Chain A
């Protein structure tokens, strides 16, 4: 660990990696809780994986892969949202199909682009150590988009996540905000791709929020908790993986998984203890 801190002071690329992780954790905090409470993890997974189509196409045609990822993520979000709103039955099959088709299209494009096999690995599993400075700016811009949109329409997002039928009766354009929420999920996916890669994104999107949800009673608390936990996980994963030279993305995800397990077990033990205490309180007058 000391080796990591020494290196952090000396090497600009490590500092940039740390900043990239922190920028990604803002996405964990702002959007992760909505994905968890609205139970759209599978939809988010579909959006994340179909992003490969856009990245592959951007590479093949010589554009910046992250711009391609952003375009593909937004298209995938709108397509999946449309499937969800139109075809309530068979929704999961359709989303599974989009998930796989997106990846297949991406891999075909990448295979036809000469000399890009290593890029494929970093798309899939992330490469936080190779985040260029201009991409930090891009990530900060995406964070700003998320922050402004959530701040403006927080009440509406909570309303459609909580009880969309009632929100509709209050005149909230439920379908519009549902699609907007999915677009924000798409933006968050792109934000996280550089850090953990598109296959592992879903864990970083949901686990910090799920852990925070086990310890707080409000959505706002969940957002703050998830941001802090996300920051802890990306920085911790970076530090742990540095000395043994492990890939950082998978290290972050394993750390997240371990934290989730420990938190779930502690929360259930605590709930049982509380229930026992409550029963004792009623039986002894």
Chain B
């Protein structure tokens, strides 16, 4: 496979957990600067595709390139916001120290790899927290945050490593709609200088923010920029869904299982 000029390119990727196929023949190309929404039903393989792009899993079929390299080589240029925090909430750590972990692996010299954080790292972490409007949380223990605050902190942790691509897995699954809008406004701004891939099950809502939507249910069902109509949603979810007007204005539909 020749080095690809795309930010992310997967070619005929297949993956199975044991003998359960999760992804089949997935070819998707994400250009630099795009804001791709990856939608699909639960267990449709969205999180698995992200893990393959991040190099946490290896494809059993096909190939993946990220920034023209293998996922593992490109890893440090990626920022990742997980769906569920993988850490225990009672872990004794303050928000600033959580955010700083996003700067691991950026050491300029071997000497910077050992010992404590440098002043410059702390300053960048503080600034990034302020950028996601969580500057006042720096000294808070991680266990004291609300769902929305935690989401902002996780976003800061992903951004503080100065990534070229930001990957988010259901970033707004655990927060209310008003905050969801704020987070996506923030992502729109970040899209000015970052490629973004965001996984969501909320097809109508994200389509007002993203530049393109890819629908995944084991394989890619649609892959388009034009508006998503009821037929596509029916194809994707395999059942009748109803479109309702979304509270965020605009003429976009909001998909719900009906």
Query: What residues of chain A have their CB less than 8 Å away from a CB belonging to chain B?
Result: 37, 151-156, 158-159, 161-172, 213, 216-219, 221-222
Contact = CB atoms under 8 A, between A and B. Distances in A.
Contact of A169 (B54, B97, B98, B103): B54
- Max count, chain B CB within 10 A of own CB: residue among A153, A169, A216: A169
A37 B78 contact: no
B115 A218 contact: no
A213 to B, nearest CB: 6
A152 B103 CA distance: 16
B86 A163 contact: yes
A158 B94 CA distance: 12
A213 B104 contact: no
Given A166-B80, A171-B75, 9 more contacts: A155-B101, A155-B117, A158-B97, A162-B98, A165-B82, A165-B86, A166-B86, A170-B104, A222-B92
26 contacts: A37-B91, A37-B92, A152-B114, A152-B115, A153-B114, A155-B100, A155-B104, A155-B116, A155-B117, A158-B97, A162-B98, A163-B87, A165-B82, A166-B157, A167-B104, A169-B56, A169-B78, A169-B80, A170-B101, A170-B102, A170-B104, A170-B161, A171-B105, A217-B93, A217-B94, A221-B92
A154 B113 CA distance: 10
A229 to B, nearest CB: 15
Contacts of B157: 166
B69 interface: no
Contact of B76 (A166, A171, A217): A171
Nearest to B117: A155
Bin the interface of chain B by size.
20 to 34
B141 interface: yes
Contact of B115 (A151, A159, A221): A151
A166 B160 CA distance: 13
B151 to A, nearest CB: 15
B258 interface: no
Interface in B100-122: 100-105, 114-117
B85 interface: yes
Contacts of B102: 170
B164 to A, nearest CB: 14
B110 to A, nearest CB: 11
A161 B93 CA distance: 11
Contacts of B93: 158, 162, 217-219
Contacts of A156: 104
A213 B92 contact: yes
Contacts of B54: 169
Nearest to B55: A169
Contacts of A170: 75-76, 101-105, 161
Contacts of A172: 104-105
A217 B104 CA distance: 22
A168 to B, nearest CB: 7
A165 B103 CA distance: 15
Nearest to A222: B92
Contacts of A216: 92
A165 B114 contact: no
Given A156-B104, A163-B85, A170-B105, A218 B114 contact: no
B92 A171 contact: no
A164 B56 CA distance: 12
Given A151-B115, A155-B104, A217-B94, A168 B56 contact: yes
Contacts of B78: 169
A248 B114 CA distance: 39
Contacts of B116: 154-155
A100 B161 CA distance: 45
Contacts of B141: 217
A255 B97 CA distance: 34
Nearest to A214: B92
A171 B102 CA distance: 10
B17 to A, nearest CB: 14
Interface string B44-61: 000000000010100000
Contacts of B117: 155
A38 B115 CA distance: 21
A42 to B, nearest CB: 16
